[in-house]
């Protein structure tokens, strides 16, 4: 219950929160609509497969524009939670993906797709959800940034290790591709913001909508490439995605709490671990494996926004029932 004597939040904070809530609510609906379009207009859209990687590069450039050099200072000032989050990101989700795929007895193509979702870095939507969940937003941004910069090395190696026996994995080619579509665009975006801060500041309010538009295009193309398999595989893919995402959120939270981290950090780690850059996973799967392998990433793009919004609502309702600062929660 809120304190009636507490000062009202400033109008700018209320507007910011409403904008964030609107974004989290609308993002999955737009991505879902893109998937439907991809299914019903599969023939013309499937010819646009060559646009997947350029669109991913634009998304990562947009992410780079949201970053600042001070975002990386937490690596020095608070190394333990950053290290914990990144380790959990690249340990929990890949292994959880393989466990879910094995438990559901998924075919090799879908197993590769689920595991690849686990091997990519955290998604930028996690930063918005961290804000809504009253988690540590600065820590969330740092974790996303570090996991993204490590991805060109870690993602191909994890994929080769976990699913190389099922399908051939061109780890070297994947690493080169990720340098081109992840590392270079992020660094360029970071540099542009450093040298043109005022111009970038004017663009920041529209960058989330630009990103979701680009992700929606990627999802539409990915779905179009495997539209014939979608009906038969849709339910089992959805089950795998829900379980995978749920395990990431739960195990990320528990990992932080069991290592003595405060509540806000635990929420941040849970969100960072459970919410993946699934658009990137879809693009890599379509490029290096098969269109069917890209389906888990496309479905994850919709689901993790919904589950993230629900988790944020749960944390906020729990705060309302529990007096005292968030970090005092046990």
Phi/psi for 276 (5° steps) reads -105, 165
The pLDDT tens digits of the residues spanning 103-133 come to: 999 999 999 999 999 999 988 778 878 877 8
146 and 190 Cβ atoms separated by less than 8 Å: no
Q: How confident is the model at residue 224 (pLDDT cuts 50, 70, 90)?
A: confident
Q: pLDDT averaged over the chain?
A: 84
Looking at residues 184-208, what average pLDDT do you find?
Answer: 87
Higher per-residue confidence, 1 vs 188: 188
Q: How confident is the model at residue 202 (pLDDT cuts 50, 70, 90)?
A: confident
Q: Which residues contact 235 (CB under 8 A, 6 or more apart)?
A: none
Total domains present in the chain? 1
Query: Which pLDDT belongs to residue 126?
Result: 84
Q: How confident is the model at residue 324 (pLDDT cuts 50, 70, 90)?
A: low
Looking at residues 315-322, what average pLDDT do you find?
Answer: 80
pTM of structure:
0.83
SS3 45: helix
Higher per-residue confidence, 323 vs 239: 239
Q: How confident is the model at residue 12 (pLDDT cuts 50, 70, 90)?
A: very low
Instruction: Flag whether 2 is in a domain.
Output: no
Residues spanned by the domain of 19:
15-321
Among 130, 137, 100, 133, CA closest to 115: 100
Query: Which pLDDT belongs to residue 15?
Result: 52
**Residue 61 clears pLDDT 80, i.e. is over it:** yes
- Give the domain CATH number at 164: 1.20.1530.20
Q: What percent of the chain has pLDDT over 70?
A: 90
Instruction: Flag whether 36 is in a domain.
Output: yes
Name, of 23-32, 170-179, 230-239, 299-308, the range with top average pLDDT. 170-179
Q: What percent of the chain has pLDDT over 90?
A: 36
**Residue 13 clears pLDDT 70, i.e. is over it:** no
Query: Which pLDDT belongs to residue 329?
Result: 42
Among 117, 116, 122, CA closest to 89: 122
The pLDDT tens digits of the residues spanning 233-285 come to: 778 999 999 999 999 999 999 999 999 999 999 999 999 999 998 888 988 99
Instruction: Flag whether 4 is in a domain.
Output: no
Instruction: Flag whether 10 is in a domain.
Output: no
- Could you say which DSSP state residue 276 is in? B
Query: Which pLDDT belongs to residue 250?
Result: 96
Report the distance separating Cα 283 and Cα 58, nearest Å.
13
Read off the tokens for 173: 């080619």
Report the distance separating Cα 62 and Cα 215, nearest Å.
12
The β-bridge partners of 122 are 276
Higher per-residue confidence, 239 vs 65: 239
Instruction: Flag whether 48 is in a domain.
Output: yes
Instruction: Flag whether 329 is in a domain.
Output: no
Q: How confident is the model at residue 18 (pLDDT cuts 50, 70, 90)?
A: low
Higher per-residue confidence, 47 vs 4: 47
Instruction: Flag whether 1 is in a domain.
Output: no
């Amino acid at each position: 219950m809120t304190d009636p004597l507490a000062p009202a939040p400033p109008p700018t904070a209320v507007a910011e929160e409403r904008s964030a809530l609107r974004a989290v609510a609308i993002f999955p609906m737009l991505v879902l609509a893109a998937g439907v379009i991809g299914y019903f207009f599969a023939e013309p859209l499937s010819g646009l497969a060559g646009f997947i990687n350029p669109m991913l590069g634009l998304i990562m450039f947009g992410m780079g524009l949201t970053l600042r050099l001070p975002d990386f200072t937490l690596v020095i000032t608070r190394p333990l939670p950053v290290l914990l989050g990144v380790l959990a990101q690249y340990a929990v989700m890949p292994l959880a993906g393989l466990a879910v795929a094995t438990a559901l007895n998924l075919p090799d193509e879908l197993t590769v797709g689920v595991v690849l979702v686990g091997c990519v870095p955290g998604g930028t939507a996690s930063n918005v959800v961290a804000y809504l969940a009253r988690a540590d937003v600065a820590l969330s941004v740092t974790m996303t940034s570090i996991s993204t910069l490590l991805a060109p090395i870690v993602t191909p190696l994890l994929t080769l290790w976990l699913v190389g026996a099922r399908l051939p994995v061109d780890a070297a080619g994947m690493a080169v591709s990720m340098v081109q579509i992840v590392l270079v665009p992020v660094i360029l975006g970071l540099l542009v913001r450093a040298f043109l801060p005022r111009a970038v500041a004017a663009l920041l309010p529209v960058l989330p909508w630009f990103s979701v538009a680009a992700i929606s295009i990627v999802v539409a193309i990915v779905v179009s490439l495997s539209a014939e398999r979608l009906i038969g595989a849709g339910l089992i893919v959805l089950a795998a995605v829900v379980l995978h995402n749920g395990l990431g959120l739960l195990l990320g939270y528990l990992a932080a709490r069991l290592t003595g981290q405060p509540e806000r950090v635990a929420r941040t780690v849970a969100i960072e671990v459970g919410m993946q850059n699934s658009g990137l996973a879809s693009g890599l799967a379509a490029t290096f494996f098969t269109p069917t392998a890209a389906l888990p990433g496309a479905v994850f793009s919709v689901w993790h926004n919904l589950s993230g919004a629900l988790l944020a609502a749960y944390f906020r309702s729990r705060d309302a029932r529990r007096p005292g600062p968030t970090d005092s929660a046990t």
